Amino acid sequence: MTELATFGAGCFWGVEVTFRNTPGVRDVLVGYLGGTLANPTYRDVCTGRTGHAEVVQLKYDPAEVSYDKLLDVFWENHNPTTLNRQGPDVGTQYRSAIFYHTPEQKRAAEESKASLEASGRFRRPVVTEITEASTFYPAEDYHQRYLEKRGLASCHV
């Protein structure tokens, strides 16, 4: 039995590799979520006008990896204090976001974010949005396993 988890943490190529290499994660798709345009393309999302975030949607086995562990991986692999940017990528599509699928995921995400803020790990506020998952649109085929296809999936991105 698998469950879904969806995260936005900047450009989805590196985020995909990170989660694909997490034990218990069965599959990862990159795509778009959180916007207003139906069936957006990469070109549409890159305009910043659709409201979508670049996201990874995971199928994971909760008997092998907990949602809390997935949240830890999410927090450890991007900067949740930069609004609408990760590294050189700037725009609302690169925002830090957790899209929850169940009330339990919402509660876990909120508790995890509060714990991170209280930890003092970051000097600036955590700007990660926590929003109910809406329609997920898979990205074009050439974006799926993008770094793996180019022989870069073993790199820490």
Structure tokens at 87: 């590294």
Annotated catalytic residue within 11, 25, 33, 133: 11
Strands 3-9 and 129-132: unpaired
For residue 11, indicate whether it is catalytic: yes
State the virtual CA torsion across 133, 137, 142, 144 in degrees, nearest 10: 30
Structure tokens at 54: 């670049």
Closest CA to 53 of 150, 135, 144, 112: 135
Strands 89-90 and 85-86: antiparallel
Contacts of 135 (CB under 8 A, 6+ apart): 33, 38
What's 141's DSSP letter?
Answer: G
Which residues have a catalytic role annotated? 11
